[in-house]
Structure 1
Amino acid sequence: MSPKKNFSYDKSLSRVEEIVSQLENDNKSIDELADLVKEASSLIKACKSKLRMTEEDILKAFGEEEEES
């Protein structure tokens, strides 16, 4: 899953939490388990990417603010 304009960090994080809950509470087949783990992994990667991009944006904004002073 690559970060897209319509990517929602909150929705993705909520889905990861839902997957974890399913893994903890339900008996899943190996195929279902594999699919859920792949989905969670993809969502986590996208969330990490979003956090990195947000951090870069914040650092740039503060860097530009300091230069203007």
Structure 2
Amino acid sequence: MAKNENSNFSYMTRRIGGTTYKVKVVFSDTEKETMEDKILRMIRNETVTTGGTCGIIDSPQMSRQSERSAS
């Protein structure tokens, strides 16, 4: 088996707004970092690489009612 191959994985599909995301989640039997640690590390790294800016939207970008809103 090649180093990057791993049979211990799953796919997760989520629809957010008009976009469908398919994410491959790979699990490691030897990794010591927890999922929470990994997510926090990715958030910290993103903050460092973007200079702390996150592109805040000042006004709503949707012209139609939210799917979760009561009609």
Task: Give your verdict on TM over 0.5.
Answer: no
Larger radius of gyration: 2
With the length of structure 2 as denominator, give the TM-score of the two structures. 0.30
- Structure possessing the higher relative contact order (Cα contacts under 8 Å, 6 or more residues apart): 1
Higher strand share: 2
Higher helix share: 1
With the length of structure 1 as denominator, give the TM-score of the two structures. 0.30
